[in-house]
Amino acid sequence: MSFTKEVLLQNIKARTISQIIEGVERFPKPFQAETFIQLPEDENLSAKISQCVLCSLAKSRNHVVVSKVIQPKKYFILADFPDSIEDKSGHIFSEKSPLASLILNLLGKIGIINESYFSYAIKCFPQKALSTDCLNICVQNHLLDELKNVAPEYVFCFGYRAMKGLYISLKVPFFFENINENSKLDKLELSGKSIQPFFLPSIKELYEFPHWRKQVWDLLTGL
């Protein structure tokens, strides 16, 4: 009798375990739920910047003009602010913009366009006069994060606001009264790494004064 009971208990135990295993195989526990997949850091940063409402420009802009992918590049192309074409499309350094396409053409001929990351010191198009607060707010909250993610060797500052914004973001004192455009500036440090900045004419100036483009060409092709 005891033998029969023992065999019966073993059979029940074996069947129970078999059913449990079958249930686990049929309805396995998800390794990771789809809704909780974490975005890469660069996509999170780009999304964060694109939703900025920290300054007065947020009331009149169409888009925050920022690169969709923020990743390491050798060259950091920094200009003053986007134009109305980029504001409407949201595409940074758009080929449809006569101003931006000028720089794209230049970098393409030099052969560094694929190694370049594009950014603006002020990421919204100013419909009216631009206040200093907009520059300070934008570079202090966004530019430094971009620089850390891109980790460039060179920064090309196209315009005074771009150059000023770079130094503000890095909290480096700047005295530019006697500095001319098309200048190689003293090296700066970012996260323990040395970066080489250049002060160049603004994109608008290069568009309006074509004879200045050769000076930029001569300076950058010598790298």
The partner residues of 117 in beta bridges, in order of sequence, read: 76
Q: Which range is least confidently modeled, 20-34, 155-169, 177-191, 204-218? A: 20-34
pLDDT of residue 9: 54
pLDDT of residue 134: 81
Percent of residues in the chain assigned helix, strand, coil, to nearest 5: 50, 15, 40
pLDDT of residue 197: 97
Asked whether 162 and 138 are in contact (CB, 8 A), the reply is no
Alpha helices in 59-186 (DSSP H): 84-89, 98-110, 132-138, 144-150, 160-169
- Residue 100 in this model has a pLDDT that exceeds 90: yes
pLDDT of residue 55: 74
> Which among 122, 127, 131, 68 has a CA at the least distance from the CA of 94?
68
pLDDT of residue 8: 52
pLDDT of residue 108: 95
In the chain, pLDDT over 90 holds for what percent of residues? Answer: 49
pLDDT of residue 97: 93
pLDDT band at 28 (very low <50, low <70, confident <90, very high): very low
| Tens-digit pLDDT profile for residues 117-174 | 999 998 877 777 777 788 888 888 899 999 999 999 999 999 999 999 999 999 998 8
pLDDT band at 101 (very low <50, low <70, confident <90, very high): very high
User: How far is residue 35's CA from residue 73's CA, in Å, rounded to a whole number?
Assistant: 31
Mean pLDDT taken over the chain: 81
Q: What is the CATH number of domain 39-221?
A: 3.40.470.10
Asked whether 75 and 117 are in contact (CB, 8 A), the reply is yes
- Compute how many other C-beta atoms are within 10 angstroms of the C-beta atom of residue 203: 25
pLDDT of residue 177: 73
Angle at 149 between CA 145 and CA 151, to 5 degrees: 110
